[in-house]
Amino acid sequence: MNTKLNTEFDAIVVGSGMTGGMAAKELCERGLKTLVLDRGVAFEHGTSFVTEHKRPFELPRHGRVPKEELNDVYSTQGKVYLFDEATKHLFVKDNEQPYIQEKPYDWIRANQVGGRSLMWARQTYRWGPQDFTANQVDGHGVDWPIRYDDIAPWYDYVEGFVGISGRAEGLRHLPDGQFLPPMEMTAVEKNAKMAIEAAFENRRMTIGRCAVLTQELNGRAPCHYCGECERGCSTRSFFSAVSVSLPAAAATGNMTLRPNSIVESILYDAKTNRASGVRVIDSVTHEVTEYRSKLLFMCASCLGTTQIMLNSKSAEFPEGIANGSGALGHYLGDHHMGIDASGFTDAFDDRYYSGSRPNGIYIPRFRNLDAASRRSDYVRGFAYQGSSWRAGAERGAVQEGIGIDFKNKLRDPGPWEMQLWGYGETLPNYDNHCRLSPTAVDQWGIPQLIVSAGWGDNELAMRKDCAECAQEMMEAAGFRDISVNDNLEDNPQGLAIHEMGTARMGRDPQTSVLNAFNQAHEVPNLFVTDGACMTSTAVQNPSITYMALTARAVDYAVKEMASGNI
């Protein structure tokens, strides 16, 4: 046991990514001495951006990862669209941190302070009123204990800090936020928008709502469109915990940040019915330290948090801390994806674009919003993200041709192509779950996580409609050589990297883990604000909702502490 460190704090935050960074900022700014623990390596703004702006010829393998390394070391992480030689250091090595897939499940994990906030796609859409009542309306899952009006002020607050570029559309089911000026659509996207909205009364295309600055905000510079966001952003235009929220927490003087700190379990004091702290294993030395605090925020990602809570057993909680309901580990959800539609157009060969826009377009959900859009074959809905571009010289690798004339043609832009990618909501399902292995442990002696999750009939019916709608919209927009694919087998749960639901919020302690303020029903000083807290998945990218819930929960927790209730 390490007894040399300061081990007493007002608050502990487990995880330093999207929600952990926000929790740290909010707690520190309210004066709490806060310990932030992350199992990953140390990572700092600027100095850790070792591949930022490097060209392929400056990398040892020109950006590629050898097939043997992909298969042996990064068998799961290597499936992510942004994984390459320049980014692989951001991901865990699958062979060193195993988990058990009872059904195919891609658990994408980060390997550093800042977590996955360093490689997210930055799409930030508010949930609408219908998303907080859907479970109650159609009977799937338990009712959310909050409504849109409860979280709306916190969306405002977080958006003002993060910096979201986007366009107001006046849609009730996709509420507008506090937007910076929107990025510009390409000529092809503008034309597609006009054609689709003219052909379909209830469909709308807008520029993506994106956590990348288009104007200066709090000393952060606007984006310069270099296009390699995941390698690091020295200008802080790209929102990440490392570049924005953790520096804000550090500026208070109240944060202690410890990397290489694997939280093995939560300590529980039966006399006070409180979480008294955490037991931590140093990932390098394997030394064990126990840290104590009055308040504990779990922000280790959905599955990471759940693994820790399940492993936190006591006489009072033999199945994991705060798990009297038996819901902990169940109702694991993710967005189903893998539907894409692409097509070409020759109508804008005289048009191009400037730079590499770190954003795309968005077509919000338009099914099951009212009587006119109601479907009889499935509930909930789907949305699309997409983009357009002109192929460059790289197209020569797959085109027929030889000689100087062929090479000269490659100097000119290729044809315009546009693509839509469908994403759909997943219904709460008790059988989609994770649990601890009774026999297999990792190199630190922690039980490995068994994950078992798949898609149901509702998701499959939704996918069919999603593909058909993509086809008809591409046709309405005048594209040629349209191709629509449903790549379900290549997109198991987890690969959307929006996993959520395993410690859900709810009104009834018998069926949920957390209350309306992300507070454990059974352990008053324990809060969970990462994806594990979600009661349903909606269809929108969830990160801005996670952060809004986190800020709201900290506000509540600090007030409860001041009142002596925690």
- Report the 10 Å Cβ neighbour count for 315: 7
Helices 457-476, 187-199: crossing angle, 10 deg rounding: 110
DSSP string across 325-379:
TS-TTBS-B--EEEEEEEEEE-TTTT----S--S--EEE---SSSSSTT--SS--
Structure tokens at 521: 């029903």
pLDDT given for residue 352 in this prediction: 87
9: helix, strand or coil: strand
Report yes or no: 109 and 38 within 8 Å, Cβ to Cβ.
Answer: no
HEC sequence for 488-538: CCCCCECCCCCCECCCCECCCCCCCCECCCCEECCCCCEEECCHHHCCCCC
Q: How far apart are CA 526 and CA 328, in angstroms?
A: 14
Beta bridge partners of 333: 500
- 250-276 pLDDT, tens digit per residue, is 999 999 999 999 999 999 999 999 999
- 5-18 pLDDT, tens digit per residue, is 789 999 999 999 99
Structure tokens at 167: 């366009």
DSSP H helical ranges for 30-110: 67-72
- 514-564 pLDDT, tens digit per residue, is 999 999 999 999 999 999 999 999 999 999 999 999 999 999 999 999 999
More confident of the two residues 402 and 422: 422
Helices 148-162, 543-562: crossing angle, 10 deg rounding: 100
Select from 541, 505, 510, 502 the least CA-distant residue to 146: 505
Q: Is the pLDDT of residue 121 over 60?
A: yes
The distance between the two most distant Cα atoms of the chain, rounded to a whole number of Å, is 82
* Lowest-pLDDT range of 55-59, 91-95, 212-216: 55-59
pLDDT given for residue 402 in this prediction: 75
Portion of the chain with pLDDT greater than 70, in percent? 96
Portion of the chain with pLDDT greater than 90, in percent? 93
pLDDT band at 414 (very low <50, low <70, confident <90, very high): confident
pLDDT given for residue 1 in this prediction: 46
pLDDT given for residue 393 in this prediction: 54
Q: Is the pLDDT of residue 4 over 50?
A: yes
Q: How far apart are CA 381 and CA 108, in angstroms?
A: 25
Beta bridge partners of 441: 447
Q: Calculate Rg over the CA atoms of the chain.
A: 23
**What's the chain's average pLDDT?**
96
84, 258, 494 from 61: Cα distances, Å: 10, 33, 29
Q: How far apart are CA 324 and CA 320, in angstroms?
A: 8
Pairing of strands 336-345, 433-441: unpaired
pLDDT given for residue 63 in this prediction: 92
- 429-464 pLDDT, tens digit per residue, is 999 999 999 999 999 999 999 999 999 999 999 999
**DSSP-assigned letter for residue 447:** E
- 277-322 pLDDT, tens digit per residue, is 999 999 999 999 999 999 999 999 999 999 999 999 999 999 999 9
- 348-385 pLDDT, tens digit per residue, is 988 888 889 999 999 999 999 999 999 999 999 999 99
pTM score, whole prediction:
0.96
204, 208, 534, 537, 538 from 127: Cα distances, Å: 16, 15, 12, 10, 7
Q: How far apart are CA 472 and CA 485, in angstroms?
A: 14
Buried/exposed code over 62-91 (b: 16+ C-beta within 10 A; e: otherwise): ebebeeebbeebbebbbbbeebbbbbbebb
Buried/exposed code over 266-283 (b: 16+ C-beta within 10 A; e: otherwise): bbbeeeeebbbbbbbbbb
180: helix, strand or coil: strand
Q: How far apart are CA 262 and CA 359, in angstroms?
A: 34
Q: Is the pLDDT of residue 485 over 70?
A: yes
Report yes or no: 474 and 388 within 8 Å, Cβ to Cβ.
Answer: no
Q: How far apart are CA 497 and CA 110, in angstroms?
A: 11
pLDDT band at 391 (very low <50, low <70, confident <90, very high): confident
Q: What is the mean pLDDT of residues 245-250?
A: 99
pLDDT band at 409 (very low <50, low <70, confident <90, very high): low
- 151-197 pLDDT, tens digit per residue, is 999 999 999 999 999 999 999 999 999 999 999 999 999 999 999 99
Q: Residue 137 class from Cβ within 10 Å (0-12 exposed, 13-18 middle, 19+ buried)?
A: exposed
Q: Residue 439 class from Cβ within 10 Å (0-12 exposed, 13-18 middle, 19+ buried)?
A: exposed
DSSP string across 368-397:
SSSSTT--SS--S-EEEEEEEEE--GGGGG
